[in-house]
């Protein structure tokens, strides 16, 4: 009964600004995953072919509901989803290039036309160009909107950890970037809105200047380390400039009939309210206080291994599970999708050593491939959803102009 009520509640929230037409759910009679066919893996495509049919036709406008965005209606759009980036801007650019949304000339220009790009969180930690990636994505969003496309992000567990002040996984270069960015903001009189978009270009110069410093290689430079920690605390604390930037993004996003989140959505999350969770996380990141005067950390969304950003239930290797466990997980997944009127869910968070893949009759897509040099340094892959059909696009590591398509049948 709770699930039915919240399905109605969720649809009412969206109805004021858009109309969602849910597609039938995939058959749930079998809990075993649909098998991957690589008969097309030798197909070589150019970026233009990957994007074909996107920018030529006039499409209905993209309509967004919720603040931060919760439901997006993007009729006829090609959707591309990119997983965890973890501070590696070179790998991030490679992923965006093979997705056909970023120019390969080093100018960081949007080439996706009316494509909708979704990044599934964990931009932060394990790398030294975290803020530069956030800046790049914001710049691409501005450019995409001018072409009739859009860029959306969802927050992952590493975003929420940093807002909490948990810096366990911060790379030393990440602290340095925070120091540089805080000084850079000073040049803009702390007008973060104006400064932020330009950081992806400015960061290169700041990094070069820092590495030319005679004190850069001094391993005992504790003052530099302390300065980096303080800078990161100022930037990412609730209400800080970068925490407010993260507050623009949801933890759960529905685009057409597809659901996107970092870890995984459960029935209890739907019962609590998806828009409510998104709003509470955003308010917390912006430093808005509750009745007792202190920011309240949204537990269901950000804390515990069953929370939206930490959940790994759908990312477990089914070969390690018993048939009854697979059946139980599939039941939970189908209940969740049905409650929000979604066809499938796309998640990151758990590196997939086999690359982008789907399970449970392709009701769940796992797209974190560990591409960052701070994780697995695997070849970049992205998920493309076009004409409501999904496929993985991956690059040859040595020849980024050649792309391979893996169809799921």
Task: Copy the structure tokens of residue 294.
Answer: 């202190």
Q: How does DSSP assign 4-70, residue by residue? A: HHHHHHHHHHHHTT----PPPPPP-S--SPPPB--TTTT-EE-HHHHTTTSSSS--PPPEEETTTT-
The structure tokens 């058959």 sit at 27
- Asked, as a colleague might, if the bond just before 68 is cis with ω within 30 of 0, I would say yes
Task: Give the tokens for residue 154.
Answer: 């969802």
Sign, Cα dihedral of 240, 244, 245, 251:
positive
Q: Catalytic one among 32, 86, 158, 404?
A: 158
What end-to-end distance do the CA atoms of the chain give, in Å? 35
Q: How far is CA 245 from the centre of its chain?
A: 14
Are the C-beta atoms of residues 143 and 111 closer than 8 Å to each other? no
Q: Catalytic annotation on 158?
A: yes
- Evaluate the CA torsion angle 160, 164, 165, 169 in order and state its sign: negative
How many Cα atoms within 13 Å fall on the side-chain side of residue 284?
A: 21
Q: Are strands 150-153 and 116-119 parallel, antiparallel or unpaired?
A: parallel
Distances (CA, A) of 31 to 332, 356, 365: 11, 19, 15
Beta strands per DSSP E along 156-214: none
Instruction: Give me 269's structure tokens.
Output: 């999350």
Concatenating the DSSP letter of every residue in 360-406 gives: TTTTEEE-----STTTT-PPPEEEEEETTEEEEEEE-SS-TT-EEEE
Distances from the Cα of 171 to the Cα of 174, 232, 237, angstroms: 5, 12, 18
Instruction: Please say whether the beta carbons of 126 and 77 come within 8 A.
Output: no
Active site residues: 158
């Amino acid at each position: 009964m709770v699930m039915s009520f919240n399905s109605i509640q969720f649809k009412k929230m969206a109805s004021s600004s858009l109309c969602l037409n849910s597609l039938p759910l995939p058959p749930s009679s079998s809990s075993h995953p649909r098998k991957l066919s690589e008969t097309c893996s030798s197909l070589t495509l150019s970026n233009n072919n990957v994007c074909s049919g996107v920018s030529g036709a006039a499409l209905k406008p993209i309509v967004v509901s919720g603040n931060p965005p919760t439901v997006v209606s993007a009729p006829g759009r090609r959707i591309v989803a990119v997983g965890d980036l973890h501070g590696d801007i070179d790998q991030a650019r490679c992923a965006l290039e093979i997705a056909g949304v970023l120019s390969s000339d080093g100018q960081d220009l949007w080439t996706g036309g009316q494509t909708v790009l979704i990044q599934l969180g964990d931009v932060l930690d394990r790398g030294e160009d975290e803020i530069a990636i956030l800046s790049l994505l914001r710049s691409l969003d501005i450019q995409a909107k001018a072409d009739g496309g859009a860029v959306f992000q969802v927050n992952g567990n590493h975003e929420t950890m940093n807002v909490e002040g948990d810096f366990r996984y911060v790379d030393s270069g990440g602290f340095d970037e925070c120091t540089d960015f805080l000084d850079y903001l000073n040049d803009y009189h702390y007008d973060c809105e104006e400064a932020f978009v330009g950081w992806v270009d400015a960061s290169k110069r700041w990094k070069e200047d820092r590495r030319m410093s005679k004190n850069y290689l001094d391993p005992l430079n504790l003052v530099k380390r302390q300065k980096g920690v303080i800078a990161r605390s100022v930037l990412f604390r609730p209400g800080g400039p970068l925490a407010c930037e993260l507050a623009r993004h949801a933890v759960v996003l529905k685009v057409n009939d597809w659901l996107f989140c970092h870890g995984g959505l459960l029935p209890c999350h739907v019962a609590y309210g998806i828009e409510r969770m998104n709003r509470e996380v955003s308010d917390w990141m912006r430093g808005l206080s509750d009745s007792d005067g202190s920011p309240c950390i949204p537990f269901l969304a950000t804390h515990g291994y069953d929370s939206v950003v930490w959940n790994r239930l759908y990312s477990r290797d089914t070969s390690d599970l018993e048939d009854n466990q697979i059946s139980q997980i599939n039941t939970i997944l189908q209940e969740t999708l049905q409650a929000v009127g979604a066809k499938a869910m796309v998640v990151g968070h758990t590196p997939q050593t086999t690359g982008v893949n789907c399970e449970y009759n392709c009701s769940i897509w796992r797209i974190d491939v560990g591409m960052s040099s701070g994780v697995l340094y695997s070849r970049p892959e992205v998920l493309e959803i076009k004409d409501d059909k999904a496929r993985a696009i991956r690059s040859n590591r040595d020849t980024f102009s050649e792309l391979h398509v893996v169809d799921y049948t």
